[in-house]
Amino acid sequence: MQLPHERGPVSRHVIESLRSDRPGAAFFALGPDDVIGDEDVQLALWTIYELHYRGFHGVDDDREWDLGLLTLRREIESRFESELRAVTRELVTGVPQHGDLGQQLLDLVAADDGPSLAAFLQRRASIEQLRDFLRERSVQQLKESDPQSFVLPRLDGRAKAALAELQYDEYGGGRPERLHATLYADALSAAGLDATYGAYIDHVTGVSLTLCNVVSMFGLNRRLRGASMGHLAAFEASSSVPSRKIAGGLERVGLPPAVAAYFHEHVEADAVHEHVASSDICGTMVAEDPGLRDDVLFGAAACLHLDALSGAELLERWTTGLEKAS
């Protein structure tokens, strides 16, 4: 993958540093604005994270451990996490201290009243809006499940076995053509879009980058393993029904079956995964280490909060008719 195009001073700093052969990016002080949804800061963070996944053409693999970039990453992450904790505090503290955590996670998702992107995609979206949706999600879905794989060595026993079981399904159950990321690439191609990893990095919004980065932040910091698994539980539990609706919308506008196939797969897979993630993974983790409870709930609430932000952003773009041609 090529390095992305800069979107402001922070991403420029990161990208210029990676273009240079000299390791050791200089110190960079962030401005005072919120980082959630900020396309410049989120692109900078995404670029630093990508060094841990696939890297960039022409950039030395060893830059993954560039101390200057790691220092900037920690500064962005610190702000990102604080902002997320602040906006989710009410939701997290509203969950009773006692009770079945797996069920509490499912109830948290069921009670969510964020804007229904799926209902719009099912009934009203044009073919171009559905393609726009596929593009916006492509940055995260083409590395679907990879961020959670970083958590596997940090778990043990029943929670580890359950995460491995879930990931094995996400990774196609031994069939490379059934890798969920590959199914997403097939959907993009069938919709006439570019299925290359990172193809739309310069196109997607700051909120879409934020959605992608939150799972990397949770997955790459062992301290946040509870949040990573809580996010996974909420993500899976808010996927099965919406996937059915989105598949219906894709079929309504006449896109080829391979596009809807990705979403049909998630109707069934995520009906399983939500229970595995909420009870077998999160329930077990918290039973063994009650100190992880608040972080699990934080991760779930962060998922719901950012999904709602993204839903509102895309619905506004599509319903005000101001969508830029692509």
- Classify residue 225 as exposed, middle or buried by CB count within 10 Å of its CB (0-12, 13-18, 19+): buried
Count CB-CB contacts under 10 A for residue 67. 10
Q: State yes or no: residue 104 binds another protein (CB under 8 A).
A: no
Handedness of CA 265, 266, 272, 276 (dihedral sign): positive
Q: Which CB atom, from 167 or from 189, has the smaller least distance to another protein?
A: 167
For the bound state, the minimum distance from the C-beta of residue 31 to another protein, rounded and expressed in Å, comes to 42
User: Which 3 state secondary structure label does DSSP give 282?
Assistant: helix
CA 48, CA 51: separation in Å to the nearest integer?
Answer: 6
By the 8 A CB rule, do 42 and 74 touch? no
Segment near another protein (CB under 8 A); pick from 6-14, 26-34, 165-173, 290-298: 165-173
Q: Binding another protein by CB under 8 A: which of 222, 241, 257, 288?
A: 241
CA 108, CA 91: separation in Å to the nearest integer?
Answer: 8
Q: State yes or no: residue 269 binds another protein (CB under 8 A).
A: yes
DSSP string, 207-224: HHHHHHHHHHHHHH-GGG
Q: Which CB atom, from 91 or from 247, has the smaller least distance to another protein?
A: 247
CA 267, CA 133: separation in Å to the nearest integer?
Answer: 18
User: Which 3 state secondary structure label does DSSP give 239?
Assistant: coil
Segment near another protein (CB under 8 A); pick from 183-191, 207-215, 222-230, 274-282: 274-282
Count CB-CB contacts under 10 A for residue 130. 21
Q: State yes or no: residue 122 binds another protein (CB under 8 A).
A: no
Cα separation of the two ends of the chain: 20
Q: Which CB atom, from 65 or from 168, has the smaller least distance to another protein?
A: 168
Q: Which CB atom, from 26 or from 241, has the smaller least distance to another protein?
A: 241
Q: Binding another protein by CB under 8 A: which of 195, 258, 271, 312?
A: 271
Segment near another protein (CB under 8 A); pick from 24-32, 196-204, 213-221, 272-280: 272-280
Residues 170-199 that bind another protein (CB under 8 A): 173
Q: Which CB atom, from 4 or from 102, has the smaller least distance to another protein?
A: 102
Q: State yes or no: residue 287 binds another protein (CB under 8 A).
A: no
Q: Binding another protein by CB under 8 A: which of 275, 299, 301, 311?
A: 275
By the 8 A CB rule, do 233 and 300 touch? yes
Q: Which CB atom, from 193 or from 269, has the smaller least distance to another protein?
A: 269
For the bound state, the minimum distance from the C-beta of residue 241 to another protein, rounded and expressed in Å, comes to 5
Q: Which CB atom, from 175 or from 324, has the smaller least distance to another protein?
A: 175
By the 8 A CB rule, do 209 and 139 touch? yes
Count CB-CB contacts under 10 A for residue 66. 22
The dihedrals phi and psi of 12, each to the nearest 5 degrees, come to -60, -45
Q: Which CB atom, from 225 or from 275, has the smaller least distance to another protein?
A: 275
For the bound state, the minimum distance from the C-beta of residue 121 to another protein, rounded and expressed in Å, comes to 17
For the bound state, the minimum distance from the C-beta of residue 267 to another protein, rounded and expressed in Å, comes to 5
DSSP string, 30-63: --SS--TT-HHHHHHHHHHHHHHHT--TTS-GGG
Segment near another protein (CB under 8 A); pick from 45-53, 208-216, 220-228, 262-270: 262-270
Q: State yes or no: residue 169 binds another protein (CB under 8 A).
A: yes
Segment near another protein (CB under 8 A); pick from 63-71, 225-233, 252-260, 268-276: 268-276
By the 8 A CB rule, do 212 and 46 touch? yes
Binding site for another protein (CB under 8 A): 103, 110, 165, 168-169, 173, 240-241, 244, 267-272, 275-276, 279
